[in-house]
Structure 1
Amino acid sequence: MAQLSDIIAWCNQTLKAHEFRDYAPNGLQIEGTAEVRKILCAVTASQDAIDAAISAKADLLLVHHGYFWKGEPYPITGMRGNRIKSLIKHDISLVGYHLPLDSHPTLGNNAAIAEILELENIEALDPSERNPIGNIGYLNKPISPQDFKAFLSERLGFDAIHLDAQKTNIQKVGFCTGAAQDFITKAAEQNCDAYISGEVSERTFYEAKELDVHYYACGHHATERYGVQRLAKAISEQFNIEYSYFELNNPI
């Protein structure tokens, strides 16, 4: 058993949450019981994830995509109201970390992608960032764009969408998980052969062609299922409490 306040303080410090300007609050979003015996983690605080936390008798739901995003309406009604009501009724805390969990050099989503894809010599996609959100890595040998698509699809469990460019080989790879398709311009500035993110926009087709950077959309969920698991495991080891992961395979 651990104190909720201690867990939040440790996470905030570990992830350097105060150093990020984000689209939603990082850390404790809905306060439940003060004592935590079990954590359930999930990518998104959907009703399915909440129901799984209730069934597991979890005290804390740890997510990458929580609530209270900029631009959301203030009234807590409808779908969001039902979700929050469920959490409060069962005294379950909601804890979310967004950009800090993308960026962390060992626990983060991008760090996990680098390991899964066996990328080497990791560096910042944008060298001006204090805590880089995206990264660059290198394959140990050049690979064709078609073979790289097959490799990504196999490693990430997602049928990657490939937007073609002129380059015939890929070795220098930019990447940023989730909905970071517009960072393809940063990848081009760094002379990357390819750029990986989760989602894709209509405009990305033309950008890949004109910037000459192969683009691979590998799924928002599929690229961001790792950070919450790594963070939950680290909390479990730090505080000697139980954790589990809820997977709802979102095809987007």
Structure 2
Amino acid sequence: MNSPESSVSRDVLLSAFDDLLQPAAFKDYGPNGLQVEGKKEIRSVVSGVTASLALIDAAIEVGADALFVHHGLFWRGQDGRVTGWMKQRLARLLAHEINLFAYHLPLDAHLTLGNNAQLARHLGIHWVGAEPVRFGEQSLGFLGVRAERSAATLALWVEQQLGRPVTLIAPNDQPIERVALCTGGAQGYFEAAIAAGAEVFITGEISEPQAHYARECGVAYIACGHHASERYGAPAVAAHVASQLGIAHQFIDIPNPA
């Protein structure tokens, strides 16, 4: 981690994240923002995908004062008891006074720094106009263009860029251009992507129905891994805010085959 140039208060950092990501605009599956309170003054922040024990321990190792993640600790419908894995994670955070900031759907949706925008940038998917065509619930899905000889050649490109195998359902072998994407577990957005005019849909996961929809609708489907598709938004946002505030930032990727 780079040496911190200064420190900021926890409230200032929280306001910076909120101002950028606008969490109040989303109906989400858990609380966005500060999930665990730590030190009042923050000199360094570590970003990552999920607030796992491995990421928390890595943040402790590098002396971070705050964690910024996509998948936090608390979700709607959870049991609520602080036992087992939850107790272990909270105990580490509290013992070392590490602030935990988590943003779920707001991080997916940000037009330039979010998971969808950053995955599109990484894969060379461009917008027809100034912004992507949006689709799906809360307009989380993005539609852009990348010309390829076939969905199979696009799938190979995605594998090369993300460094992992993908699942491809390609009902035909023909040129494609209109590419829809929504990172993570967005298989339920496939029908909305088809309605928006996509010729191929990229997301993290696939469930049983999507293979049939792809074959019957003639639209290709690429599942590239939940974690792999969401590695880019958290470091982009955290680096942007850290640079604005003059504090140190480091992205730590904890490998995940899912």
Instruction: Give the TM-score, by structure 2 length.
Output: 0.93
C-alpha distance in 1 between matches for 2:161 and 2:235: 17
- CA shift for structure 1 position 160: 1.2
Say which SS state the counterpart of residue 28 (structure 1) adopts: strand
Please list every run of 5 or more consecutive structure 1 residues that lacks an aligned counterpart in the other structure. none
Structure 1 runs, 4 residues or longer, greater than 4 Å off? none
Q: Deviations over 1:139-178 (max 9, x none)?
A: 1x34212211111111222211101223622110110000
The AA in structure 2 aligned to 1:164 is A
Instruction: Give the TM-score, by structure 1 length.
Output: 0.95
Say which SS state the counterpart of residue 79 (structure 2) adopts: coil
What is aligned with 2:142?
135
C-alpha distance in 1 between matches for 2:242 and 2:157: 32
- CA shift for structure 1 position 105: 0.8
Kindly indicate whether the alpha-carbon contact (under 8 Å) linking 2:204 and 2:226 is maintained by their aligned counterparts in 1: yes
C-alpha distance in 2 between matches for 1:240 and 1:123: 31
Say which SS state the counterpart of residue 159 (structure 1) adopts: coil
- CA shift for structure 1 position 91: 0.5
What is aligned with 1:248?
254
What is aligned with 1:213?
219
The AA in structure 2 aligned to 1:251 is P
Between 1 and 2, higher relative CO (CA 8 Å, sep ≥ 6) is seen in 2
Matching of residues 39-54 of structure 1 within 5 Å = 39-54=45-60
Matching of residues 115-194 of structure 1 within 5 Å = 115-120=121-126, 121=128, 122-126=131-135, 129=138, 132-139=139-146, 141-166=147-172, 168-194=174-200
Q: Deviations over 1:186-242 (max 9, x none)?
A: 111112110000011122211211222100001111110101100111121111011
1:16 to 19, 22, 40: 22
C-alpha distance in 1 between matches for 2:66 and 2:148: 44
Q: How many residues align?
A: 249
2:209 to 203, 211, 233: 203
Kindly indicate whether the alpha-carbon contact (under 8 Å) linking 1:179 and 1:198 is maintained by their aligned counterparts in 2: yes
C-alpha distance in 1 between matches for 2:134 and 2:213: 17
Matching of residues 56-135 of structure 1 within 5 Å = 56-120=62-126, 121=128, 122-126=131-135, 129=138, 132-135=139-142
Kindly indicate whether the alpha-carbon contact (under 8 Å) linking 1:185 and 1:211 is maintained by their aligned counterparts in 2: no
C-alpha spacing 1:54/1:142, structure 2 compared with 1 (3 Å): closer
Please list every run of 5 or more consecutive structure 2 residues that lacks an aligned counterpart in the other structure. 1-6
Q: Percent identity?
A: 37
Kindly indicate whether the alpha-carbon contact (under 8 Å) linking 1:167 and 1:213 is maintained by their aligned counterparts in 2: no
113-122 or 23-32, which deviates more: 113-122
C-alpha distance in 2 between matches for 1:53 and 1:127: 35
C-alpha spacing 1:204/1:91, structure 2 compared with 1 (3 Å): same
